[in-house]
Amino acid sequence: MTAATWLKARLVELGAALCTAFVLIGGLALGVPFLRSRIPETFLYSFCCVSAVLLRAGLDLGVRSIVLAVHHLPPRHIMIPAISRYPAGVVR
């Protein structure tokens, strides 16, 4: 996935979350009875919609940068010790 494709996908998610938040808060401002009876939940859900998208984008970007950094490390040799005739210290 290229950087432009990733950014476009995150912007679409952020736009959808902002639209949801605006609809909820707009409905609250217009006085929709269902939303007026649940004012704290409406604000909390609006906040959670937007913050979840931002948190996911941050975590995704962090993981991608770690994976990219690991792929650019030079290859390491793995040292495997010789197999013992007496595994786990059991001697008869």
Q: Which residues of 63-85 are buried (b: 16+ CB within 10 A; e: fewer)?
A: eeeeeeeeeeeeeeeeeeeeeee
39 and 28 in contact (C-beta within 8 Å)?
Answer: yes
Structure tokens at 75: 């290859």
Mean pLDDT over 45-68 rounds to: 92
Q: What pTM does this model have? A: 0.68
Structure tokens at 69: 């950094």
- Range of weakest confidence among 4-8, 63-67, 78-82: 78-82
